[in-house]
Chain A
């Protein structure tokens, strides 16, 4: 049990020699932990970019097809102009008016992020709600679960036409796509989580005279939250993919739209620039979610720490 393992940690650390020394060093730097992490992230990305640049310098990578970072990041103002399409399309501005290149990138990125975020919230609330109802009411289980199981393996891409039929153009179809991509899996995950709640916890509540509703509200839902946040994080990247597809097929504006534009105008630099922006957004989003996870689920031990002593 992880909790017990944590109790015995000081003893274990004293017993092991080298790894323990390393972990002590790490612990003493705990205050600078975030700095170290940023440093490692920087190193990791630099290494990747460096290799790419090397390929370019050696002439292995054609700069017209695979422009290295220093080229596609060179002219942000130029690239940012294309992001402007979105807002221009919305407010009917001409190419020369409207937000600056930098603002355009921000607005477009924020629009896409907002869709992912809203979709995530709607999908979580719906999925946990439906999952709990399925376990709570037998008849609801029998009535609804077969359909959900049937629909869950369907690729979200298949829902794209439906999104357009139902919601036309704008935020709604993109959000709908995110919700559809997450909802079915998350319902099944909720049910699975409920089924694996420690029986003792439920029995304790039962002996104290808790009603079925109280057991669900006070024991089962809090008990499944950690697992659900984990499921949410694992599905986050799926949500990002779907939202790009939704945007690129003309259901709105956003990062997906820019990728589509880059493709149609054969602009590899713009493609890679957009990929870089999406990467940063996705990474930040996951980081925020992890932060939230640690805040909301303060009672969970840090699972990474467990492996570090090995």
Chain B
């Protein structure tokens, strides 16, 4: 039995992927290979950004790591344990708001605790603490629809933090926000990340966002998604995003992405105009 079949993996990295692939609707006519051959190690406390054109399987990989979907090839581990089901240790935050509209802000934040049957006092305390960390304690008793888009995403972050996750999975969490709000949210996220000590896996198709946030940028190829290359960013924090170094990184990442977007376009055209 090779080490990769074992339920426990010797590496205690936050996330380990070995030969991971996903074919949607496998075994049917609509079978669609979204992701293949993913080998990736994410260290505890590391900030990793997934960068790639739309439809290259970034979200799919995040879902596999979250345990919400099963990989059709390969295996994943988190802190040495095989990923088979979702776990509160790995919290997922989505692009669109995914707050429960019928619950107040604090009830949303403490939803995970109520699942475990925690008392109301305990839930309110934990929610207050988590909301304090995202600067929204004053909004505790509001309803999600009373908040702006940025505030709602901060509540979503607070909800994830309340579970004390060791891995934060974020699927284009700021994509729907305006540019200024997004920049603020990035700073805010870096603070939260530093305080929590969790690993963050962050999906984006914005090169600027990748440069602002990542310890390492994982660049994907399109259809099926593979890891094209991994670009480490060694700039110190807080980062000057107008520096020469940042500019060079943007140019490098733009080049890497352009090939993929060109390729995706060519494929889509070939698909649209059958010979």
Interface residues of A (CB under 8 A from B): 1, 3-4, 6-7, 198, 200-201, 203-210, 214, 218-219, 222-223, 225, 297-301
Instruction: State whether A204 and B102 are in contact (beta carbons under 8 Å apart), knowing that A209-B86, A214-B115 are contacts in the complex.
Output: no
How does the 8 Å CB contact mask read for B78-120 relative to A, with 1 for contact and 0 for none? 0000000011101110101110111000000001101110000
- Give the interface size bracket for B toward A: 20 to 34
Residue of B nearest to A207 (CB): B86
Query: Per a CB cutoff under 8 Å, which of A200, A201, A299 touches B143?
Result: A299
B115 and A205 within 8 A (CB): yes
Cα distance, A207 to B79, chains bound together (Å): 17
Name the B residues within 8 Å of A300 (CB-CB).
101
Determine if A205 and B102 form an interchain contact, defined as CB atoms under 8 angstroms apart. Answer: no
Closest beta carbon of chain B to A29's beta carbon, Å: 24
What A residues does B86 contact at CB under 8 A?
Answer: 203, 206-207, 209
Are the CB atoms of B149 and A4 closer together than 8 Å? yes
A209–B149 contact, CB under 8 A? no
B28 close to A (CB within 8 Å): no
For A4, list chain B residues within 8 Å (CB).
Answer: 149
* Complex Cα–Cα for A112 and B101 (A): 37
A200 to B: closest C-beta gap in Å = 4
In angstroms, Cα B143 to Cα A297, docked, is 12
Measured CA separation A69–B201 after assembly (Å): 72
Min Cβ gap B117→A in Å is 10
For residue B180, CB closer than 8 A to chain A, the reply is: no
Contact B68 A222 (CB under 8 A): no
Contacting pair A209 B115 (CB below 8 A): yes
When the two chains form their complex, are residues A208 and B94 in contact, meaning their CB atoms are under 8 A apart? Answer: no
Instruction: Say whether, besides A6-B145, A200-B98, A298-B143, A207 and B116 are in contact (CB < 8 Å).
Output: no
> Pick the contact of B98 from A3, A204, A209, A299 — CB < 8 Å?
A204
Q: How far is the CA of A218 from the CA of B116 in the complex (A)?
A: 13
B contact residues around A208 at 8 Å (CB): 88, 91, 111-112, 115, 163
B100 touches A222 (CB 8 A): yes
25 residue pairs bridging A and B, Cβ less than 8 Å apart? A1-B96, A3-B144, A6-B145, A7-B148, A200-B94, A200-B96, A200-B98, A201-B98, A203-B92, A204-B92, A204-B98, A205-B111, A207-B68, A207-B88, A207-B91, A207-B92, A208-B111, A208-B112, A208-B115, A209-B116, A214-B115, A218-B111, A219-B100, A225-B102, A301-B145
Q: How many Å lie between the Cα of A297 and that of B86 in the bound state?
A: 30
**Nearest chain-A residue to B67 (Cβ)?**
A207
B66 is an interface residue with CB less than 8 A from chain A:
yes
> Which residues on the A side are within 8 Å of B163 (C-beta)?
208
- Cα–Cα, bound, A206→B101 (Å): 17
Residue of A nearest to B69 (CB): A203
Question: Could you tell me the distance in whole angstroms from the C-beta of B153 to the nearest C-beta in chain A?
Answer: 13
CB of A209 within 8 A of CB of B112, answer: yes
Question: Does A206 contact B115, Cβ atoms closer than 8 Å?
Answer: no
List, in ascending order, chain B residues with CB within 8 A of A209's CB. 86-88, 112, 115-116
CB distance from B95 to the nearest CB of A (A): 9
Beyond A207-B88, A209-B116, is A198–B98 a contact (Cβ under 8 Å)? yes
The reply to whether A299 and B145 contact each other, CB–CB distance below 8 Å, is yes
> Who on chain A is nearest to B163 by CB?
A208
Q: Which residues does chain B contribute within 8 Å of A299, judged by CB atoms?
A: 101-102, 143-145
B145 near A222 with CB under 8 A, answer no
B100 engages A201 (CB within 8 Å) = yes
A6, A198, A207, A301 — most chain B CB neighbours (10 Å): A207
* Additional A-B contact list (17), CB under 8 Å, known A218-B114, A223-B102: A4-B149, A201-B100, A203-B86, A204-B98, A204-B111, A204-B159, A206-B68, A206-B86, A207-B87, A208-B88, A208-B111, A208-B163, A209-B86, A214-B115, A218-B111, A299-B101, A301-B145
Note all chain A residues with C-beta closer than 8 A to B98.
198, 200-201, 203-204
Which B residue's beta carbon lies closest to that of A203?
Answer: B68
In the complex formed, the residue of A with least CB distance to B169 is A207
A298 to B144, CA, bound (A): 11
A213 CA to B1 CA, complexed, in Å: 37
B68 near A210: Cβ-Cβ < 8 Å: no
B100 near A207 with CB under 8 A, answer no
The interface bits of chain B over 159-183 (1 if a CB of A lies within 8 angstroms of the residue's CB, else 0) are: 1000100000000000000000000
CA distance A210 to B96 in the complex (A): 21
User: For residues 110 through 152 of chain B, which have their beta carbon under 8 Å from a beta carbon of chain A?
Assistant: 111-112, 114-116, 143-145, 148-149
B115 near A7 (CB under 8 angstroms)?
A: no
Could you say which residues of chain A place their CB within 8 Å of the CB of B68?
203, 206-207
Per the bound structure, the CA–CA distance linking A290 and B144 in Å amounts to 22
Closest chain B residue to A299, Cβ basis: B101
CA distance A210 to B114 in the complex (A): 10
